[in-house]
Structure formats: structure tokens, C-alpha cells
Structure 1
């Protein structure tokens, strides 16, 4: 086994820890003068350490602190607070301004908006920087907007809305991890000017991808098969139907639909194999690696230079470069070196799911798979092929298993079967897909090749659909917190270390890791034992949840309907987030008590009895009630309006409560109300 340079690993981990610390302590600023003094001290101590046989503890400590500080400062200096030209310093929130935006990236549209990430080049004539989420109401008059277009708009900066119910996906945090802190919400009427900006490399890449998509649309490849081809080769997933995507997710093969480290790794192996004859020439290793790197970046270019593909290509470019240098080092070193460089380029990548899963999968394959493979030595090529795929699948799944449970809350039990069938042919599918796209781009695509390729993708989709029907192998609604993720990785690492070499210290480490995991389970069970009442926000429906430890009872209107909210949002997300094991539903009562408080539910009939003063009144289904008279009669402690009410009614009630100086709570603006 080649030599592992642990120094690179330590430095990469320290930079990551510095980034994490800065992320969770944004108010503390790691001063640049301190970093400058620290850097001078390190350089001085390094010159002294060169004359010594072993580095001193002082030099090592300074180096560790420096790399931690580099990660910390690299994250903080990218925050709007420390960027003098950031638009937030010159433009007020919720105040109309003339903004000049340049489109950086097109996002997947939803039912109401088309969405882009854009940079604010100017605000009210002042040059600025910083990215925003641009949302444009869907309208037939919307012009075609592409990357590098410049829009002059009259709009206000708005905070990206936070989720209205607990444990919902926090889109605002997701955008924050992309460096986006505000949104611009407009219709076509507020676009004052639309022009083409100077082309960037990303813009040229997007134009090439759109051209390839257009040419692919002109072929005879059927709809679902073309959508899969676009996803595999061009990184365009928006045309995949919800049903087809759900089938891939249920079969444990959704990872092949997003161009990532898996695809780039396969393409890296394909290019390396095809160009291997060049290694026999003078300086062939260098020429071979240079061409592999060039072809990898060409692939990234036709996928639109998306961040996920760019990261993966950068990672494998390091592997190709290390091969050219013929350094006696381990692939783990190369992996951590690329990890370190990418975090220095953009520390926000550390918080993105694709980045985390790519590196954990590759790290597990490099570290675990060789040991797994050595336990069986197949004699024949086919045996070696399937044994290699099987061990790679196990290693990769171990690497991403805790993250998959945390982010996706499900485990496909047949993922081994899926990978054994799909992975052997994925290289062939990718190679054929690249060929199909290239020939289609030049309008020289043979019809027989289209039929053959279409049949192959159709067979793949049918197999995925067949696996997805075995839903009893799919474990869903798994609650897996961040603490469990960290404890799980400690278990995986310690068990594998003990497996490789039995020793007292490693045995103790395994026992400690399992003890830590059990401690996390006990702590989470203790913290979830409290009782609370939740008024959820749900359009056109009233939902009140009563949580007691791991049991949840939902009181809702229209219980006579066949619909159950156990598997629908926001109840599904809350059940998973709180690890609910017992669930039930009941009709919503007109009056009930909670913690010595009387709660009156006033529905569309608007009829209410006399109750004690200081009670809580919940308005549902837009009751036609004279609220001022109700307040004078009942003298409630507060008024609550949920998502089942008309917006115009809510606005009128809010004004009435303001005049009466009575607390008013609307779940549509403040989110679900949690009463402890």
C-alpha cells in the first residue's frame, strides 16, 4: 500500500473545522491582523524547523491554528457584512429600487415562478456585488431568459421566506449556502430592460448545452428515454416525470440521474482506458493525463459547468495529475488535497449535499473497497467484474449511508440488486449517450443507433420500474439527526479499523463509538418526551397536533374525507423530524382545554358560546363574525387564524386586533404556532 501523508489530511480537516466554526459563530470575527502575525510566526518557525531533525511542537501547533484560521476567515470574509460592495449595504429591504441583474444560473421552475440566480451589478446607479434569487411570475409574455442576460428591474429586495411548519425544508438556508441572501420577486411588467450581456465561460457552456438539448429533441428517442439521456449526459433533469423519478428513488438508483462524482469517475476510467496506448510513447504519462483532464473538462462544459460537475471534474483532475507525476503517494492523499483546494475556492460547498456525498462515497471506495475485494479472488473475468461492482457498491453505500438517512429519510433495500444490474452498464450507457449527443449535435445520427440506444434506456427504465414495485423492501420515514450521522461515521470508521487489525485500543474505540451512539439515542429520546400543542399551517384545512413523547394525534376538519395526513405534508415532515412512532387522527372539537387554557375553535358558522375570559380563540374556515363584538364579549387572551381562512378576512381581523391591542397570530405569516 502506498504511503499516506497524514499532514494533508490534518490540514484539510482543520480547514473544514474552521469553516464549520465560522458558520455556527457568524458574529465572531477572526481578525486579519491576527492571521498576518500568525503567518509570519509560522514562516519564521519553519525556517528554524528546517535545521532540526524533527519539527517542534510549537511549529506544529502554529500550523494547525493557521489552517483552522484560514478556513474560518475564508468563510467569514465571504459574508455580506465583510464585503464593502455588497448590495445589502446600499439597498434597503422591502423598498423599491432600480436593480441591474445579470443572470448566473437557471433553476428548476415551480408551479408559479421561473427562477434564476443573478448577481446585482448595480443598485440605483451604484456598482454592487452579491447574488439574489430572481423569481418571475409565470406569464405567456415572459421573454426567453438565459445565462448572462442583463435585466434592469424595478423591485425590492425581500427575505427568502422561512418554512411555515416545523421540520419543513428550509429553502432560505439552502440558498444561503449558495451565497444567496435575498430574493427579487417580480412579474414581466417590472422588467424595464432586457439585453444580452457579455458572454462568460458559464454562458458559453449553457448555450452549448441548450443547443445539444435542442438537437436531441429532434431525434426519434422517446420522451422518458430522452429525459434520462439528458440527465445522464447533459445534467438536465427537469424533463424527468415525477413518476419516473419516484421509481428511480424507490429502486435506490436516483443517484445516477444527477451528474456527479459517480458519472465523472466512470468517464475518467473510460478516457483513461481509451488513451492508455499513449503511455508507451516518450512522456506518454504526461500526455495521457493532460488529455484525460482536457476531456473531463470538455464533458463539464457540455453539462453547462454546473457546480456539482465542476467539483467532481476538479477532484478527478487531481487524480489524473497525480498519475502523471508518478508520486509514491496514496489516493487518499489526492482525495484530501482536492477537498482542501475546493474548500479554499468556495467554503460554502462544504454544506451542499452533493459535495458531502461525493467525497464520502469516494473516500469509502478508496479506503474500504480494497479490503473487501481481497476476501475473495475470482478466477474468471465475469466473476471479477461482478465481485468488483458488488464491493464498490457496498463501500460506497457505507460511505453515504448515514447522510442518505439524514437527508432522504429512506433506505432502498434492493439497492444491491439495482447497482449490480445498472453499474456494469452505466459506463456503456454514458459512452453511448455521449456519442448520441455528439452525433445529434452534428446532425449525423444514424437511425439504427437511435433505435438500439432507445431500447437500452427503455430496458433500464423497465427494470427500475420493476424494482420500484417491490415497495416492501423500502424502509421509509426514517428519523436520523446530525448527531446520529456523526456517531454513525465514528462506528463505521472504528469497526473497519478493528476489522483490519485487532488491537486493544481499536476495541476500546469501537466500544466508545457504540456508547456514543447509544448516548445520542437516549438524549434524543429524553428531549422529545415533552408535550406540546401545534397549530399547523395548511391551506384550506385546519390541523391541530397534540404531541406527547413519540405519539402524535392530529385533530382536523373534514375528517369524513378519505384523505389521511399521515403521509402528506406538513404532518409527514413533522413525524419524521420528531421520530413519531404512534399516529392517530380525530375530528376537530369546537372547545377543548390544554394546560389549563380553554381554546375555542370558531368555524364558518360563526356561532360561539360564552367561555371564560383569557381563553384562546382559533378562527378557521373564514367565519363571518363581528370580531370586535366577539372580543368585547369573550375577552380572549389572543386570536389565532390558521391557513383555512381567506387572506382578506385575516387582514381585517389583524387591524381589529391592533385597534383592540389584542395579540393576533396568523400561521400564514408567522408559521405554525407551538404551545409548550
Structure 2
């Protein structure tokens, strides 16, 4: 039995999270939940008053269960209220087409080679020539202007054109960007040309955040000035300030392959490290002073929130700062004995502020990792006591040097083991989410983190020191211009900082080169399977804690269910054969799936880029657990029979499905070719009547992504008027046709 009394807030947080999770899955079908919540609260108050008078355990227990139900309903109501698309003033609910709208840049502006990406917060829209007050957010991609400054947080724009609803995934298994935006209360997107918007002024929604972002950019300029190597500068800015704009794709992939991507994001690791360093210094020099526990807590709060401010107040660092705020306050008031309640309070407050944080990957990983470390790390560390082992080797007849060597060896081994225990503890709770979200698991995570975390921690401390020293020198130079010679101080620290970053980076790449096969990829888990994995872990932890055999039986049964679901899924997928015309911008790409074997063909004979594969093709292959995948540029050497009937016409027959690929005129075709699917490529110059005569009236005509927008719109109308079935891949997403032999 779980004794809930010491974990009151854990119980309430679980109930709140359950309510939020329920809304995320079935929220659209629910009526307004405010009045049911009010009714339940009134019933609870009456029942609690009665229980206090009667002093009967049955009434007290009933009141407790009703309190949990109230919190569960509050989770539903909070999430419902936080869903902006339900508001009557949301611009997506207003009748008519938006002609213009006024909005403010409400997010960090991400620079790209030819565009900027950011979020606009709408304040007014013009519909039918009249302006209306409105609300809502739009995720925009803005073309870079040939001249002029980049957009910035707080810019007020007048934009021409109507935002479009966020699009669902356009290819099998593709990342659901619409759902991701929805969790951030963004339900529309728009591509804005350089001439579609005008800057009206500057009025940031939060002047504090505007100053924070400006401060982060100023500090980034310090790194850019002193760290000369482009690769080391990019990683330094990501490691200390959380700005990853200049980190190249090769570096990102190397960190992903070794399980150290979390180091590049300013979050709990950096915040906790800075807090630990400052608290160690304070304890070392001022630990015996009066009221140390309280004033050191105040200093700790200033440190973590100051760091959150200078790093741009990103969501991840604010979440970490909030978590450590409750930890600091708990310790200051001598409540550190129950860390679970402290973490539950932090999660409860964050979820009340924004219920959709529950769907945030960073939120899930952060709290699961901390909970697992708090519970498991001490238990794993107890498996081996290297200090005792070293002490057992000490003998009275040994020299002082030998005895000191044994003591130092025991201390070092114990430090390494503590780090190993921490890394293992964090992985136990987070690896199911890693499999679910990222479809991979790095076997080298232990070796990578064992060295990378200490080096990166040193780099963070040195980087913050560089910023502090540069600020001090700059202040002195303002008062004493002749003190320019002091610039050697930040330059010296910057040299050490760059060398540390270089060492850190080289180690990660070295691990990747030495262990090229240590990354397990292509893993796909359903939400149910992920839940089963978590259930297996909890059952095993219960068995280890309680030493009761039934818990091991439960774990085995759950593992059998997990394995059975995997086997059943593979068996079902093994029976499927599909033909797919992918939605890859400006390209012709088709796929032939049979069981776990897949042929990806680009009829234009040009190979796909790595980004095109990773984003548009591979997620579907992972979801369907493809074991053998071949990419072919053109029809030569493919396993799919293909015949070039005329110039610009290719015919294939695959598992009985007849497909014609048309990229030019078909006037040279000498006989009819009855087919099931006709794929028009590269704005093929054909008329509907020609297609009907040559391929039959029952064929589905597919316009692939290589066709221009104007061509697809024109052909769709003409083909529909001719009585043919039409499918526009660029508009509706990938075309799929299941094949039966």
C-alpha cells in the first residue's frame, strides 16, 4: 500500500495531470466544465464540514476522494479555459476572410538562410472592409528583406493576407506540426513575403522579456567577439545562453547519436550547476554566519532567476528556474526531507499556469529525470562503496604516500561511480520517452555523459565567468578609458573557454567515431506501448523496494503484453503493400512498400537530400518498422518493373497495381494503357480527354509535388469537369493506395 499522507501534493498533482490528459484526448466532446467544477467544490465543502463534525473515518475518506475528483475536474476546466481557439473573439471563429491584420512579434525570431520564423500575436483583423478586435497567434515564415533589420520581439506589424489553419502531417508518420503548434495555442500558419507586411511601431507584450532577449543577444556578441572558431562559438552560445542558431547539422547529429543533446539546451543542468557552484562558495566562506540558511536561499533565487533573465527567458530555463525555486524554498524552511512533495508543488504550479506544459517533451523529461534521480541515484550508489574498498586496502605498515594514493583512488572511484549512478537513474525513467519521441537509443550514453557532463559543466562556469569579467572590465573602462589594457583578462578566460569547448566537442565526435554502431535507431512505439514500458519499470521498482514476488509477476505479465503488442503490430504490417506518392516540395518521390521492404524512387533521377529523407520519408519507414530500405534515383536497377513507353511516359506494374508516370506529352503513345493511377509530374502538358482515352476513365489522376501551384489548380478543375478523379499531393498530402495481390 502507498501511504499518501506524506505525499499530499503528489496525489493532487497526479489528479490535475489526469484531468489535463483527459482533455487533450477527448476535450472537444466535453461541455463547459466550469459549473461542474463549482458544483463539486460546493459538495466537497459541505462533506468536509460534515466529516469534521462527525469525526468518522468514512466521511473523511469520502471527502478526500471528492477533493481528488475536484482537482481532476479542475484540470479539465483549466485546459478548456487555456484553449484559445474556443474563445469567441479568436480570429479563426470570426465569419469572413481576413484581409489585413495587426499583430505583434510575440516570440524569439529564429533566423534561417532565406527566411525568419516567429510567432505573431493578433490584436485586430479587417474583414469585409471593417476592423474587429480579435485574438490568437499565427506561426509565420517571413522572407528576408534585401535590406533592413531582422524582425525583433515587440515589433508591431500590419500584415496583408489571411492566415491558414495549420496543416496536418503531409506524409505517413511525419511529425505532427499542427498538434505541436496546438499545444502552444497556435492554430494557424502563414508564409509572408517581404512586401506583405509593414512595421508600425514597437510595443512588446512584455518589456521584461524584450530586455531579456536583448541582453541575451548582447552577451552572445561577447562570445562572438572572443571565441574565434565558428564551431566552438556556436556551441558556446548554445551551452551557456541557449542560442542554437549557428550550430551546424553535423554537430547536432553527433550529439544526438551519443545521447548528449540535452547539454546544448539551457535547462535544469545549467541552472542546477550554477546554483550548486554558488551555494558551495557561499557555504565555504559564509556557512557559519547568522541566518545563513535564509539569506543564502535569497542569493540562490537571485542567481537562478538572473541566469534565466540573461539567457532570454526561454521556456526550458523558466521551467528549471521554477523547479529549483521550490527546492530552494523547501530547504530554507527545512522541508527538504520530502523532495517528492517539493517537485509536485513545482509541477502543480506550472500546470496551473499553463496546462499544455504536460504535453511538452522538455517538461516530461525534466520532471521524470529529477524524480528518477531523487529515488534511484542513492540506491544505485549504495551498490558499491569505493571509499570503503579503498580503506580496506590500507595497512599500518604502508608508507604515507601509498596510503594517500589509496584514499585518492577511493575518492576518485567513488566520484565516478556517483556520476554513473546519476546517469543510470536518469535513463531508467526517460528512455521510454526517448524511444517514443526520438525513435532511437544511444548505447554510448553512459560513456558520453560520464566525461561530457563534467567538461560541459566546467565550460558553463568558465563561460559565465567570461561574461562577468567582461562586464567588470567594460565598467572599469567606462570610468577609466586608459584601462583598455585590462582586456587581456577576458581574452585569457576566453582562450580557456574556447579550449574547454573544443575538448568537449572533440570528445563527442571521438565517441561517435569509435562507437559508430552504438546507436539503435528505427524504433517505433505507440502511446500504449510506451505506457506499458513505464508500467513494467514501476512494477520492477515495486518488487525491488518491497521484495514481494507478485510484483515481479506483474512486471513479467506487462512485459509479455508489450512483446505481444509488438509481435502483433509487425504481423499486421507484414501483410500490407502500399504505393505512395510523397509530398516533398518541388520533387517527384514515390514509395513501394511491401511488409518490411521498401523501395523509394525519385522518377526525376535526382537523389533526395538528407533533410528530405529525414523529415518526409524516414518517419513513415520507422513507424512501419521497415528493415530493408533502398533509395533509387530513377528507374534503373529498381525492383519495381518499369517500362518507358514514350518520352515522358513510364509504366509500372507492381503487385497488380498499374501506374503511369507522365512528365511530358502523350501524343506519341500508340495504344491505350489501362491503369489504376496516373501520376502527373513536372507540369505535364496533357489534356483531360487524352488521359481518358489513353488510360481509361476510372484511373485516379495524382498531381505530385513537382507540379506548380497554378498548374495543379488549373488541371484539377479541367480533370474534374472531364469526370476524372483527381488528387493534389501538394494540397492534400501524400497519396496512398493499398495493394492486394
Structure 1 residues 212 and 105 mapped into 2: Cα distance closer, same or farther (>3 Å)?
Answer: same
Structure 1 residues 587 and 154 mapped into 2: Cα distance closer, same or farther (>3 Å)?
Answer: same
Distance in 2 separating the partners of 1:608 and 1:67 = 70
Partner of 1:462: 506
Partner of 2:69: 65
Partner of 1:495: 540
Distance in 1 separating the partners of 2:695 and 2:412 = 80
Distance in 2 separating the partners of 1:503 and 1:394 = 24
Partner SS for 2:517: helix
Moved more, 167-176 or 525-534: 525-534
Distance in 2 separating the partners of 1:419 and 1:4 = 37
Partner of 1:661: 723
Deviations 1:129-177 (A, max 9, x none): 2222132112223533211221122221212233321111122221111
Partner SS for 1:534: strand
Structure 1 residue 181: Cα displacement: 0.8
Structure 1 residue 560: Cα displacement: 9.4
Q: Larger radius of gyration, structure 1 or 2?
A: 2
Which of 71, 74, 78 is the matching residue for 2:82?
78
Which of 95, 116, 119 is the matching residue for 2:118?
116
Which of 696, 709, 712 is the matching residue for 1:635?
696
Structure 1 residues 440 and 608 mapped into 2: Cα distance closer, same or farther (>3 Å)?
Answer: farther
Partner of 1:545: 591
Contact 2:98 2:125 (8 Å CA) reproduced: no
1:265-284 residue pairs with structure 2 within 5 A?
A: 265-276=272-283, 278-284=286-292
Distance in 1 separating the partners of 2:301 and 2:4 = 24
Distance in 1 separating the partners of 2:145 and 2:491 = 38
Structure 1 residues 91 and 97 mapped into 2: Cα distance closer, same or farther (>3 Å)?
Answer: farther
Which of 147, 150, 161 is the matching residue for 1:144?
150
Contact 1:640 1:665 (8 Å CA) reproduced: yes
Deviations 1:157-211 (A, max 9, x none): 2122333211111222211111111123322322233311155221111111111
Contact 1:373 1:391 (8 Å CA) reproduced: yes
Deviations 1:306-351 (A, max 9, x none): 1111011101111111001112641112112211111111011111
Contact 1:231 1:237 (8 Å CA) reproduced: yes
Distance in 1 separating the partners of 2:606 and 2:103 = 51
Contact 2:122 2:134 (8 Å CA) reproduced: yes
Partner SS for 1:189: coil
Partner of 1:599: 659
1:525-544 residue pairs with structure 2 within 5 A?
A: 525-528=570-573, 529-539=575-585, 541-544=587-590
Partner SS for 1:275: helix
Partner of 2:220: 213
Partner of 1:644: 706
Distance in 2 separating the partners of 1:370 and 1:451 = 38
Structure 1 residues 381 and 642 mapped into 2: Cα distance closer, same or farther (>3 Å)?
Answer: same
RMSD of the TM alignment (CA)?
A: 2.7
Distance in 2 separating the partners of 1:315 and 1:564 = 38
Moved more, 395-404 or 220-229: 220-229
Partner of 2:322: 314
Distance in 2 separating the partners of 1:563 and 1:85 = 43
- The answer as to 2:13 corresponding to 1:12 is yes
Structure 1 residue 591: Cα displacement: 3.4
Partner of 2:428: 398
- The answer as to 2:89 corresponding to 1:43 is no
Contact 1:566 1:583 (8 Å CA) reproduced: no
1:225-236 residue pairs with structure 2 within 5 A?
A: 225-236=232-243
The structure, 1 or 2, with the larger RCO (C-alpha pairs under 8 Å, 6+ apart) is: 1
Distance in 1 separating the partners of 2:99 and 2:63 = 53
Partner of 2:338: 330
Structure 1 residue 434: Cα displacement: 0.8
Partner of 2:167: 161
1:118-137 residue pairs with structure 2 within 5 A?
A: 118-124=120-126, 125-137=131-143
Partner of 2:179: 173
Which of 553, 566, 580 is the matching residue for 1:508?
553
Distance in 2 separating the partners of 1:328 and 1:477 = 42
Distance in 1 separating the partners of 2:611 and 2:40 = 57
Structure 1 residue 609: Cα displacement: 5.5
Partner of 2:567: 522
Distance in 2 separating the partners of 1:31 and 1:567 = 44
- The answer as to 2:198 corresponding to 1:192 is yes
Structure 1 residues 134 and 592 mapped into 2: Cα distance closer, same or farther (>3 Å)?
Answer: closer
Structure 1 residues 91 and 229 mapped into 2: Cα distance closer, same or farther (>3 Å)?
Answer: farther
Partner SS for 2:103: strand
- The size of the alignment, in residue pairs, is 673
Partner SS for 2:660: strand
Partner of 1:407: 437
Contact 1:540 1:645 (8 Å CA) reproduced: yes
Distance in 1 separating the partners of 2:288 and 2:434 = 43
Contact 1:165 1:570 (8 Å CA) reproduced: yes
Partner of 1:97: 99
Partner SS for 1:129: coil
Structure 1 residues 331 and 560 mapped into 2: Cα distance closer, same or farther (>3 Å)?
Answer: closer
TM-score (norm 2): 0.85
Unpaired runs of at least 5, structure 1: none
Distance in 2 separating the partners of 1:3 and 1:27 = 33
1:315-464 residue pairs with structure 2 within 5 A?
A: 315-327=323-335, 329-379=337-387, 380-442=410-472, 443=474, 445-464=489-508
Distance in 2 separating the partners of 1:74 and 1:89 = 21
Deviations 1:218-273 (A, max 9, x none): 22442222212211111101111222222222222111001112222222222222
Contact 1:155 1:185 (8 Å CA) reproduced: no
Distance in 1 separating the partners of 2:318 and 2:654 = 54
Structure 1 residue 662: Cα displacement: 2.2
Contact 2:584 2:612 (8 Å CA) reproduced: no
Distance in 2 separating the partners of 1:565 and 1:107 = 22
Structure 1 residues 540 and 150 mapped into 2: Cα distance closer, same or farther (>3 Å)?
Answer: closer
Structure 1 residues 565 and 19 mapped into 2: Cα distance closer, same or farther (>3 Å)?
Answer: closer
